[in-house]
């Protein structure tokens, strides 16, 4: 398949749509990212990459980091992790407090904010303090992407903290139900820091390769998850990766994928390849408008969906 030609055709077709949607402004440091940006990268089993647009430019990965923290925590806790967080789609906005209240402080899944904060809390417990937990998360991302220089943007993390009342409320609510072990403020700060990691589509697409190949990175041969864990992480991405628009995304695109409010989306075609796309303007559910469209065009043009 001529992946480069396919990516170029997608870029041309989505260019008129780049102005649609709205850049996330509830995190002020993200509001200044220009709308017109677009990048998309495909990584094959061999590590060979095909890219279009601003594919080497780093952006805020935001909730895409939740795939990496979920993988890391599953590796340490196995099934015990599911005592603290479920695997059901939420059908609610990513930062909803209401559902958490009537479900007694157990978040629906690890990709809504409450679930991801619970996973960060589990990692802080495992590594004994928040600094070591953050270092372990960054180290994991560096290993799966093969990029030693990956780090987080302090300005974005601070900006989230300044406007983080809802996430702090989610953590406090979990604590009131006994589903939170560490200090709320420092744990939520750690969550904001891993959301503020910056990566390019080249780096993200490369980092996701282990999930396309049963937990093993086919380039380095390193194992980052068991086949069963990889299967489950992909299943949770398919059913919960796009908040309350997960059903719509599965319907239009048909791939396990995870979005972030920085406008990035990562996706995998199991056994074939991994993908990343970036376009900062978001639809009303908080998912990249043009990024979703680009992935829909990808599966339509290539027939590479899981269905
Ligand atoms: N750091 C963001 C928040 O907690 C993540 C949201 C997202 O990317 O969906 O609000």
Active-site residue, 63 included: yes
The total number of structural domains in the chain stands at 2
Are residues 89 and 55 both part of a single domain? no
Cα of 77 from ligand 1 centre, angstroms: 24
Instruction: Judge whether 231 counts as a catalytic residue.
Output: no
Residues 282 and 204 placed together within one structural domain of the fold:
yes
Question: Domain limits at 15?
Answer: 3-62+197-302
Same domain (yes/no): 250, 285: yes
Catalytic residue among 67, 243, 279, 289: 243
Output the ligand 1 site: residues, CB below 6 A: 62-63, 94-95, 113, 160, 167, 195, 260-261, 286
Is residue 100 a part of any domain in this protein? yes
Judgement on whether residues 34 and 123 belong to the same structural domain of the protein: no
Asked if residue 190 and residue 98 are part of one domain, the reply reads yes
Asked if 261 is an active-site residue, the reply is yes
The catalytically annotated residue of 51, 60, 63, 96 is 63
**Any catalytic annotation for residue 266?**
no
pLDDT of residue 259: 97
Asked whether the CA dihedral 140, 142, 148, 152 is positive or negative, the reply is negative
Instruction: Kindly state whether residues 221 and 275 are assigned to the same domain.
Output: yes
Residues 191 and 201 in one domain: no
94 and 191 part of one domain:
yes
d(CA 45, ligand 1 centre) in Å: 30
Which of 173, 195, 217 lies at the terminal end of a domain, its last residue? 195
Using an 8 Å Cβ cutoff, are 107 and 121 in contact? no
Number of the ligand 1 atom closest to the C-alpha atom of 262:
8
Q: Report which ligand 1 atom has the smallest distance to the Cα of 64.
A: 8
Please check whether residue 77 lies inside any domain of the structure.
Answer: no
Per-residue pLDDT for the chain (307 aa), expressed as one digit of tens each? Answer: 999 999 999 999 999 999 899 998 888 888 889 989 999 999 999 999 999 999 999 999 999 999 999 999 999 999 999 999 999 998 877 778 999 999 999 999 999 999 999 999 999 999 999 999 999 999 999 999 999 999 999 999 999 999 999 999 999 999 999 999 999 999 999 999 999 999 999 999 999 999 999 999 999 999 999 999 999 999 999 999 998 899 999 999 999 999 999 999 999 999 999 999 999 999 998 999 999 999 999 999 999 999 9
Residue 24 in any domain: the answer is: yes
Residues 184 and 95 in one domain: yes
Which is catalytic among the residues 156, 261, 268, 269?
261
Q: Which of 37, 66, 193, 297 is catalytic?
A: 66
Task: Report which ligand 1 atom has the smallest distance to the Cα of 95.
Answer: 10
Reported pTM: 0.97
Distance 195 CA to ligand 1 centre (A): 7
Residue 248 C-alpha to ligand 1 middle, in angstroms? 20
In a domain, 106, yes or no: yes
Instruction: Clarify whether residues 56 and 205 are in a common domain.
Output: yes
Is residue 73 included in any domain, yes or no?
Answer: no
Task: Establish if 307 belongs to a structural domain.
Answer: no
- The residue from 195, 217, 247 where one domain ends is 195
> Which of 191, 259, 268, 297 is the catalytic position?
191
CATH of the domain at 292: 3.40.710.10
Q: How far away, in angstroms, is 260 Cα from ligand 1 center? A: 7
User: Do residues 209 and 290 share a domain?
Assistant: yes
Do residues 117 and 264 share a domain? no
Residue 262 pLDDT: 97
- Whose Cα sits closest to atom 4 in ligand 1? 113
Last residue of a domain, one of 145, 178, 195: 195
CATH code (residue 94): 1.10.1500.10
CA nearest ligand 1 atom 2, residue:
62
Q: Is 243 a catalytic residue?
A: yes
pLDDT value of position 29:
85
261 Cα to the center of ligand 1, angstroms: 6
At residue 164, the pLDDT reads 93
Closest residue by Cα to atom 3, ligand 1, is 113
The answer to whether residue 79 is domain-embedded is: no
The answer as to whether 91 is a domain residue is yes
């Amino acid at each position: 398949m001529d992946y480069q030609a396919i990516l170029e055709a997608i870029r041309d077709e989505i260019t008129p749509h780049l102005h649609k949607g709205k850049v996330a402004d509830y995190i002020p440091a993200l509001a200044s990212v220009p709308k017109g940006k677009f990048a998309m990268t495909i990584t094959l089993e061999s590590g060979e990459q095909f890219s279009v647009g601003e594919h080497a430019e780093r952006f805020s990965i935001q909730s895409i980091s939740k795939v990496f923290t979920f993988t890391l925590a599953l590796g340490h806790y196995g099934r015990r992790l599911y005592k603290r967080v479920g695997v059901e789609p939420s059908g609610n906005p990513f930062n909803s407090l209401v559902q958490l209240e009537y479900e007694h402080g157990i978040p629906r899944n690890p990709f809504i904010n409450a679930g991801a904060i619970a996973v960060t809390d589990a990692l802080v417990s495992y590594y004994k303090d928040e600094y070591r937990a953050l270092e372990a998360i960054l180290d994991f991302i560096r290993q799966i992407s093969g990029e030693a220089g990956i780090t987080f943007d302090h300005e974005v993390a601070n900006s989230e903290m300044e406007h983080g009342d809802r996430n702090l409320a989610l953590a406090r609510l979990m604590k009131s139900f006994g589903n939170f072990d560490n200090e709320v403020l420092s744990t939520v700060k750690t969550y904001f820091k891993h959301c503020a990691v910056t990566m390019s589509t080249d780096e993200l697409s490369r980092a996701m390769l282990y999930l396309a190949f049963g937990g093993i990175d086919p380039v380095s041969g390193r194992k980052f998850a068991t086949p069963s864990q990889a299967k489950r992480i992909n299943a949770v991405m398919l059913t919960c990766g796009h908040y309350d628009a997960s059903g719509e995304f599965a319907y239009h695109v048909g791939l396990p994928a995870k979005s972030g409010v920085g406008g990035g989306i990562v996706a995998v075609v199991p056994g074939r390849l991994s993908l990343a796309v970036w376009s900062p303007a978001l639809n009303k559910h908080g998912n990249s408008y043009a990024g979703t469209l680009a992935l829909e065009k990808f599966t339509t043009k290539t027939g590479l969906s899981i269905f």
